[in-house]
Amino acid sequence: MDPELLLLEEALSGEELLVYASNLTIQNDYWQNILFPPLQTDELTVDVIKSASSLPVMAQIAHLGTETKYGSREGTSGQRIEIPKIQRGRWMDEKLIRLLLMASQASGLRRQEVASIVRDQLDDAKYAVSSIRARKEWIAMQAASLGAVNYVEDDVRITVDYGFTNDQKPVLSGTDRWSDLVNSTPLLDMQTWYNIQKARGVILERAFTSQTVLSYLLNNLSMRQFYFGNPTGTAVPPQLDSSQLDQITDRMKLPRILAYDTVARTEDTALVNGKTSYSTVRMTPEDRFVMLPGGKLGDYLWAETTESMVSGIEAETTAENGIYVFRDLVSKHPLRLRTVGVNLAFPSFPYADSVMSATVI
């Protein structure tokens, strides 16, 4: 067989798509695998149980020979999670399909045409995997920052509430908002929220917010006075830099603050001037300041997809965390060929009660 056609067949095989997809690197601004490490499950319905408190209950001191006092079983709360399917695909246009058919009939193609098919097919696989990873990041960060995931599109509606209490999601108002650089006191707010969880036996070790909020912190008058002191007269302390902000949080035994502004796009249903339009979507709200405990918050549960089971391909050979990519000839008249990525995944969040998520601007 002509080596170009052999290359074409191999590059367009299902196995090649999977190998390509599994070798795609994850964006370094994605936190999903840090906060919710992947965990495979065989079930699509999972019950997540969380205890009422992580603080130990002290035993009683008793005289010898007395009966042991038995503690009451604290109320536990649970939530049933239905793992949804996350999917995205792209159609191959008829010109490329024609080239594909010519290749299969050994009609002879120029090297550039072979390369074009290979490149477009693999780009479609990358598109599918990247789309799924972006949606998974959105789900993970919505859970971590809001304590809930609410998704509505067309006839699909998914609502999962992880149960953040009102204490866990304070809302600043008036001059307390951190956008008020003169009157707000962010350091006192952080200490208050830190102590709420500390009283429950939880140590908050990480914090993140948007670059917008971080800029407010660097320019906040009370923060600048804390670091530089309060000058006399009309003099004002200079703006903080990131290392100085780190020194403040270190000194107060608070977690260092990272900026998280990762975004993605969604494809709009309506055309704009006859063209496809897109909307930019943040993974987390811009107005949130989130404090987290150390370690994982839960697990990103994933299961083998039905499509993978039908194909007979082992789950371990799919792309990262069960993402399965395949090519599908839907019909021959009209020609409909698509590359599709599917994934069954959703995060459990047993440590949801250990998070603080404040609306600060």
Q: What is the pLDDT of residues 81-100, one digit of tens each?
A: 778 888 877 766 656 656 55
The H helix count followed by the E strand count for the chain is 10, 15
pTM for this predicted structure? 0.81
Cis peptide upstream of residue 334 (ω within 30 degrees of 0): yes
Show me where the domains of the chain are located.
3-51+78-163+298-359
Mean pLDDT (the chain) is 80
Measured CA distances, 150 to 130, 216, 248, 256, 297 (Å): 21, 29, 36, 29, 19
pLDDT recorded at residue 155 = 79
Q: At what angle do helices 211-219 and 221-228 cross, to 10 degrees?
A: 50
Cα atoms found within 13 Å of the Cα of residue 159, Cβ hemisphere only: 3
Which is more confidently placed, 29 or 214?
214
How much is the average pLDDT of 134-139? 94
pLDDT in tens, 303-326: 888 888 877 555 444 567 888 887
Q: Tell me which amino acid residue 68 is.
A: T
Model confidence pLDDT, tens digit, residues 149-178 = 999 887 788 889 999 999 999 999 999 999
Q: Which whole number is the average pLDDT over 202-218?
A: 98
* Structure-model confidence comparison of residues 266 and 141, the more confident one: 141
pLDDT tens sequence across 17-73: 555 555 666 667 899 999 999 999 888 887 665 555 555 555 555 445 555 544 444
Using the CB atoms, write b or e for 91-100: b if 16+ within 10 Å: ebeeebbebb
> Domain 3-51+78-163+298-359 is of which CATH architecture?
Super Roll (3.15)
